[in-house]
Every structure is written in structure tokens, then in C-alpha cells.
Structure 1
């Protein structure tokens, strides 16, 4: 089995690993596409303490059923699938409430428990699989995990319909938030960032106004605005503060980006004084099918966000570029093309 393995010395390519074995109640998936998430990068950099090397990262996955356990029904070898990476015990209070992502005996493949999609194979329960629609690529399928998380956050906003929304961070999450805000009925979406190329992509994907806050004039224009919904998708503490400052009284702030910094960035008096609602999301188990349908119907465009579909042989170099700050794209997805 081929895999990119995170080690103490960095990420290394290995090609002779033993594939994981599935039991009678599990499914072995041959991964075809695995997204590179900022969470993965922050783990390698030591900013997030979710797992320790050696580890096979990658929680954004799509692939093909390789083998099913004897007790598995409804799936067969060759089925194209999207993988929900969150595994759980199925019996605790959180699982019974439909919140398996909060299960203390579970975790996320590639992040906190079990190897992920940077390897060629993963083992999952059949309940973690969703059919990849005909016409949707494996690359798009790998983008369903970040879509699921961002969609879960937007789904919790009390009043998105007709809202003036702002999104901080034109990265993959921010670009999804901008599209989802429109799908959920926002009247205008303003996207804020520092990279003109990404901001232009945001405009093509539906943002009504883009603001480069490196420009003093644009920064001043932004400071004079107020928003019903302010979404933080960059992980920047400065952006967090901007969200609370620019949120209109009675509005909603969505916190999504992780900074990995152990210091407060929220002024609680501001939250109370402006009567703000604060929401976030790390997983939305009930929204996978809806996200897949929105993408298949063309309402959400993830294809144009993937600037770097990377063959496995080139993936180590691309990851090193990301780690060293030399990557100039928006989203990289690793492709496993070998049988």
C-alpha cells in the first residue's frame, strides 16, 4: 500500500505498507482522492495536538469499495463512495442524539483515530459511506467533508434568509461559506481577505463584494459596514475580533477557523452588549446527503476550488511547499490512481 506518512522528520512517501484489514462488520475502501486540509498542516506543524507521528493523515476522502465484511449489506465491491471520517461507538448518549462527532469513544479517521486518506486504503463502518452520484468526480467527492462541516455551521444560523453576510478568509472553507450563505438565502455576501486571486475566485463563486484588507481604503470601507451574519473562516484572531466588531446588534457570528493559539480573542461584554448569537460546527452527521445533492445539482461548486489535483507521486513535494509557505493555490487534493 502506498501512503504519505507523517513522521518526526516530516512527511515521507512509503510504498510497501500492509493494507488495513476489515472485520465482518466493516468495509475496506480504496481511496481515490484525499483533500489536504489546513488541520492536517497544523498537526504537522505542532499547532494542533490531535495525534502523534507516525500517522497517516487525511480526513477528506472519496473512493471505491474494495471489500465488504460478511455481515455488511447494501454495498459491493466497485461502488463509488464518499467517506464520512467520523467514527463512534453508536451507544452513548451523544450517538443516540445523532451527535456521533462528540462521542468520547470515537474520533476522526486521519485526525484522532485510525489511518486516513493519505494512505491508499481505509477501513470504515458501512454507515459512514454515501454513494458518489454519477457524474461527480472523486475529487469533488473528497470535498464533501469540508462542505459538510461548513454547511452544518450555516444550518445553525437563525436567520440567513435576506441577511447581509460577511466571510473572513477566501480559503476553501470561506469559499464554501460564501456559496452556502447564498444557497440559504443571504441577500448579499461580502468576502474579506488578503489574496486578490482567491478573492476573485470568491467573486466568481457568488460573492457580491470582495475586500482586500491590505488596502487602507478598502479596510475603511469595511469598518463602516455592519452585517447580520459574520463568518470567521481564516483562523486569524484579528478576523475573529473583526467579526464581533462588524456584526450588527442582534446578529450572528459563525466561528469556524482554528488558530492553534492559546489566547482569548473574544470580548464577552461585546457579545452580551450586542445580544449576539454565536454558532460553530465540527461535523453535521445529518447533512451529508443534502451537501452531496447540492453539489450534484450545481448549486455548490467545489470543482473550481481545487486548484491542485495532485498525483500521489508528486504529493510529498506539494505538502512540503504548503508547509514552507510556497504553495500558491487554493486547495490541493491527493490522487491515488493505482489499483
Structure 2
């Protein structure tokens, strides 16, 4: 199959004859129609995150169509439009049986730690990892269901979002989703922090009450008094973690979402204890996929507006190399299959 392969020299290259996944009798072969480019992928390429070694086919944000079903699979047929949950578990351990397969010691994530990911023409998945993509949503929007699932899982764990003053640090794809989800969960106000004009403007269009350009001054200019009930770190920035701790009110909640790859601790635990803060995280929410898809289908969460760049797979390698090399900046990019089916 054709695939965009992360090579040992650190570059991404399109390969025409990369081995296609061979699904087992109890698996489904999915033809990838859209794959999201996640900052995790770029951080792996740059060496900031050490999840897998090249040569490797990245991509864990996947939507497509069923190409073939195994002999022991029922309920799916060729042509079905699907979203792929990339998290794989054994199904037998305590984590899997408690609904937390992302903690399975024998598991992993397609495109990140195990298996061939969405930068290839096909992926193999268990039927339980597939969700029907409504006709109202495009494949590009379907690929956004994975980041929506993770951010939904995080906000769902935060306490007392209803009526809360919410701060979101980072106006990238995750931050845009968090800002919208905070509104869905009943936040009284949402303030978005970033240092880029375009994402901040997008956040305002999508419902944030205030957008703060941190280039114009430190977030601490809000004053020494803590002003937010919930503070979300969605940028992977150590400085943003500190800002969350500074600006969250006593008894409030901090949502830690972004990864930064730094080995040095970035959380002063004394401040968390002294302010009696709740701290929540989320890397996957296996039980919330249907809820996220319904929120997108209903229009309560606008995932399509977050996608600023739609890149044909054939141009994907060059585009990814530019992103990884810092030569291009986007809010959210999706690799897409052309209408004629060519990649």
C-alpha cells in the first residue's frame, strides 16, 4: 500500500509498496479517507516524545470506509463509513474490563505505539474500535472525533464546570475544542490565552468570551487574585502550567492535557495542596465516543471550523516535513483522499 513513512533519518517519505496490515478473522480492514495531523506525531518526529522508532507509519486520528471484514465479524460491511478508535486493549485485564483500555499493559495506540497508523492507505481494527460516521459529517470531521474524544474525557472529569469561569491556555485544536466543550457543559465564561492572532480570532468566532494575546503581557496581569474556577492547559507549555496554578481559584480545578516532553517536574505540588486544587487529565475516553459524535453531528461542537488545512495524501510528506521543520504553521491540518480515490 501507499504510506507516508517516518524514516530513520527523521524525514517523512511517501512509499508506494509499504506492507499493508493483514487483518485477522476477527478484524476489519479500513480504507483511510482522512487522517488528522496531531502535534504528538510531530513531537515524535522531532524527538520530543519517544513512543515509537522509525521506520513507522504515524497517524491516530482516522476516518474512512470499511474495505473488508473478517470471517468472524458481524454488523459491518464493505462501504460503511467509520471513525476508528485507535486505542487497542487486550480486553481481558482489569484496565480493559473497567473501561480504561488505554491503560492496558498489553495495549497501545495505532500509529503511536503499535500497528500501522492513518498515514497509510489502510488500517486494521477490531469491530469494537469502530464507530459509525453519520452522513452529516465529512471524513475530515470524522478524523476530528479522536481529539474531541480526548478533550471531552478531560472536561467530563473536571468538577463544577457549570457556572464556572474557565480559562483555556493554548488556542490550538485542543484549546478550541475545550473552549466549546466548556460552553456545552455550562460554563459562565470562557477566556482563551495564546500568542497567535489567528487562533485567538477563531476562538472568539467559536464562542469564547475573551481572547487574550499573551504577547501583550503576562496572564498575571489579571491581578494577584485568582479569577478562574477551572484552568485548562492545552498547549504543552510549562509556562502555561504555571499560569494555570497562579490564576485558578482556591478549590478550583486544573485540567492538564498538553504534553511537553520535558523531564524536569513542572508542577509545584505545595501550591496544589495549599489551594486545595483538583487536578484531572485524560489521554482517552473509551466510553464517550458516541457522545462526542452526537455533539459534532448536532452542531453543538463545530469541529470542521478548526480544520484550516486539507492536504491530499500525495502532498502529505512534503507538508509534514515542513511542519516538523518549523517552516509552516497551521491550526489543524488533515490529510485527505482525493475525490477520485487517488492518494
Q: Which bracket does the TM-score occupy, shorter chain normalised? A: over 0.9
Give aligned pairs, total. Answer: 339
C-alpha displacement of 1:316:
1.2
Aligned residue number for residue 204 of structure 1? 205
1:73-88 matches, within 5 Å, as 73-88=74-89
Aligned residue number for residue 302 of structure 1? 303
Aligned residue number for residue 66 of structure 1? 67
TM-score normalised by structure 1 residue count: 0.98
Q: Distance in 2 between matches of 1:222 and 1:168?
A: 17
Deviations 1:148-190 (Å, cap 9, x if unpaired)? 0000000001110000000000000000000000000101000
Q: Would you say 1:240 and 2:241 are equivalent positions? A: yes
Q: Distance in 2 between matches of 1:224 and 1:119?
A: 50
Aligned residue number for residue 5 of structure 2? 5
Aligned residue number for residue 226 of structure 1? 227
Q: Distance in 2 between matches of 1:85 and 1:216?
A: 40
Unaligned runs of 5+ in 2: none
Q: Would you say 1:145 and 2:146 are equivalent positions? A: yes
C-alpha displacement of 1:135:
1.7
Aligned residue number for residue 23 of structure 1? 24
Taking a change above 3 Å as real, the CA distance of residues 142 and 223 of structure 1, as seen in their structure-2 partners, is farther
The answer on whether the counterparts of 1:240 and 1:266 sit within 8 Å (CA) in structure 2 is yes
Q: Secondary structure at the match of 1:300?
A: coil
The answer on whether the counterparts of 2:312 and 2:335 sit within 8 Å (CA) in structure 1 is yes
Q: Distance in 1 between matches of 2:219 and 2:132?
A: 44
Q: Distance in 2 between matches of 1:139 and 1:120?
A: 15
Aligned residue number for residue 272 of structure 1? 273
Q: Distance in 2 between matches of 1:310 and 1:195?
A: 22
Q: Distance in 2 between matches of 1:192 and 1:160?
A: 18
1:1-339 matches, within 5 Å, as 1-9=1-9, 10-216=11-217, 220-221=221-222, 226-337=227-338, 338=341
Q: Distance in 1 between matches of 2:48 and 2:102?
A: 21
The answer on whether the counterparts of 1:310 and 1:332 sit within 8 Å (CA) in structure 2 is yes
Q: Distance in 2 between matches of 1:293 and 1:222?
A: 39
Stretches of 4+ aligned residues off by more than 6 angstroms: none
TM-score normalised by structure 2 residue count: 0.97
Taking a change above 3 Å as real, the CA distance of residues 217 and 108 of structure 1, as seen in their structure-2 partners, is closer
C-alpha displacement of 1:291:
0.2
Backbone CA RMSD of aligned residues: 1.2
